[in-house]
Amino acid sequence: MAVILSARRTAVLPRGGAFARLRIEDLAAPVVRAVLADAGLGAVQVDELIAANALGAGGNPARRVALAAGLPERVAGLTIDRQCVGGLDAILLAAALVDSGAARVVVAGGVESYSRRPLRLATDPDGGAPVAYDQPPFTPWADRDPDMTQAAAALAVSLGISRPAQDDWAVESHRKALVDHDWPEIVALGGVSRDAFARRLTPALAARAKVLAGNVTAATAAVAADAAAFVVVTRDDLARPGALRIGPGLTLGSAPEEPGLAPVPAIAAVLARAGLLPDKLAQVEMMEAYAAQAIACVEGAGLDPARVNLRGGALARGHPIGASGAILAVRLFHDLTNGHGLAAIAAAGGLGTAVLFSR
């Protein structure tokens, strides 16, 4: 069985912050070097590097990261784009390579620079001027391909998740994130060693937040952000004390018009494969792209809210799309002392990834 030997990340900074001038490889390479040092491995021992990236517009960013990190030129680098779930999927791919015997050591995770993302233009086949766009299509059907914030608002309405309930979730996320800033998982970069967005959010402040859609507000939606997160995956017979076992885990597709609920069937399937009930989970890292989405998944999967996002979630740090799933795994690596931990995340197009980790 594949295991994680080490796991690190950068701080998560909102778009336009201290990481705004950094390229993808500038964010990721220091983290790659740090996880290899933590694992006691040399660059020459790495067989592959897998990086999730959603906004880089191609060019195989994983190859750039591998070269910038000083890995051997034979390490080709594999970039995947499954949007928000990509960081966790990169780790699942690494585990599959190791379990199959195709590789012994794989560095896997994700990196995103929202600040440096390229502008996107759709060409006009009739020769008209190109049209700028932000969200690419995730289905062939416009009526089943909602804007993500609109989808979160619709989810809140359909499940009766009130604005005060979303505000309370966001306030608690920030409160937990501010309890302890001594996080060894973070690689200091440019002098920044803590997440910058967490703040003393109060119910009164949340109530005054700008409405984005329906009852979803700027306080209950994660901000666009820059960050990188990576782990070292290898075989369990090469592991040392403290390694984190990976699996089972999988990605499932569901109704694309309800992307926020996509992790629920994935969580159920993963727990069934492991023969576990939700109350046997010691810790859960649930992605908080929106408070409504997090609440819906926690309730839909029957999870104990007291065990979810123990040190805050993405509402208190931000959402670097390709890195967000990997950050969940990094948090579990450093926080899960014993038993089973679950990481789960949703993505546009109706994708949900859930992975069980154990120590």
DSSP codes of every residue in 303-336:
--GGGB-TT--GGGT-B-HHHHHHHHHHHHHHH-
Rg of the chain on CA atoms, in Å? 19
Predicted pLDDT at 82: 94
Q: What is the pLDDT of residues 37-51, one digit of tens each?
A: 999 999 999 999 999
Predicted pLDDT at 59: 87
| pLDDT bracket for residue 132 (50, 70, 90) | confident
Predicted pLDDT at 1: 87
Predicted pLDDT at 148: 94
Give the C-alpha separation, 122 to 220, whole Å. Answer: 31
Give one DSSP letter per residue of 126-184, joined into a string: TS---EEESSPPSSS-GGG---HHHHHHHHHHHHT--HHHHHHHHHHHHHHHHH----T
- SS3 for 274? helix
Choose, from 174, 181, 297, 319, the residue flagged as catalytic: 319
Active site residue 319: yes
Predicted pLDDT at 56: 86
Q: What is the pLDDT of residues 134-169, one digit of tens each?
A: 888 899 999 999 999 999 999 999 999 999 999 999
Whether the pLDDT of residue 126 is over 90: the answer is no
Predicted pLDDT at 134: 82
Whether the pLDDT of residue 241 is over 90: the answer is no
The mean pLDDT of 341-346, rounded to a whole number, is 98
Whether the pLDDT of residue 266 is over 80: the answer is yes
Q: Is the peptide bond before 203 cis (omega within 30 degrees of 0)?
A: no
**Average pLDDT in the chain:** 95
Give one DSSP letter per residue of 6-43, joined into a string: EEEE---EETTSTTTT--HHHHHHHHHHHHHHHHT--G
- SS3 for 248? strand
Per cent of the chain over pLDDT 70 is: 99
Domains along the sequence of the chain with CATH = 2-118+225-238 (3.40.47.10), 143-182+200-222+245-358 (3.40.47.10)
Q: What is the pLDDT of residues 2-17, one digit of tens each?
A: 999 999 999 999 999 9
The mean pLDDT of 297-320, rounded to a whole number, is 97
Q: Which of 229, 190, 216 is nearest to 86 (CA)?
A: 229
pTM of the predicted protein model: 0.96
Q: What is the pLDDT of residues 65-105, one digit of tens each?
A: 999 999 999 999 999 999 999 999 999 999 999 999 999 99
